[in-house]
């Protein structure tokens, strides 16, 4: 599995915000990671819609986590951002090819997906957050 750039930016945005004690801006995130402000804005919109971020408009506004980092499972974020995570289309379906009724590969891949999902859902944002010091070194 290879994650999309959008999911990568979403995870980076969450990690950055988890190090902050105050609101940040989309521009702060884009600047730190040297990525497009438009891409970050799109990701922030999705993360807000999914309930991971709060976006506050106006003077003193910005973006912040809507939940504590300990309550944000990495697997859940990935699944929401990516959508279908099946290794092959047959894993999520019963009739995608002519050998589906006796195919053993489908079961192997389904188990691999289950293990991966279980593992990623046991890792929270709090487990992967860099320190403020580490991020400040990146910013210089």
Per-residue burial over 60-91, b if 16 or more Cβ lie within 10 Å, else e, is eebbbbbeebeebbbbbbbbbbeeebebeebb
* Sign of the torsion angle spanned by Cα atoms 49, 51, 55, 56: positive
CATH of residue 69: 1.10.10.10
Cβ atoms of 53 and 67 within 8 Å: the answer is no
Counted domains in the chain: 1
pLDDT on residue 19: 93
Residues of the chain with pLDDT under 70: 94-95, 137-140
pLDDT on residue 135: 72
Mean pLDDT computed over every residue of the chain: 89
Q: Which of 84, 14, 29, 25 is nearest to 93 (CA)?
A: 84
Q: What's the length of the chain?
A: 140
Domain region containing 71: 5-138
pLDDT on residue 48: 97
**Neighbour-count burial of 42, counting CB atoms closer than 10 A to its CB (0-12 exposed, 13-18 middle, 19+ buried):** middle
For the segment 80-90, what is each residue's pLDDT rounded down to a tens digit? 999 877 777 77
pLDDT on residue 133: 77
């Amino acid at each position: 599995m290879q994650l999309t750039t959008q999911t990568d930016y979403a995870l980076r945005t969450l990690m950055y915000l988890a190090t902050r004690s105050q609101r940040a801006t989309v521009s702060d995130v884009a600047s730190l990671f040297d990525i497009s402000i438009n891409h970050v804005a799109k990701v922030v919109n999705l993360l807000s819609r999914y309930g991971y971020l709060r976006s506050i408009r106006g003077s003193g506004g910005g973006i912040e986590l809507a939940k504590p980092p300990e309550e944000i499972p990495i697997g859940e974020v990935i699944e929401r951002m990516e959508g279908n995570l099946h290794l092959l289309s047959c894993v999520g379906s019963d009739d995608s090819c002519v050998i589906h009724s006796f195919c053993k590969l489908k079961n192997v891949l389904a188990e691999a997906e289950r293990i991966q999902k279980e593992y990623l859902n046991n890792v929270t944002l709090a487990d992967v957050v860099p320190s403020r010091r580490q991020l400040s070194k990146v910013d210089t």
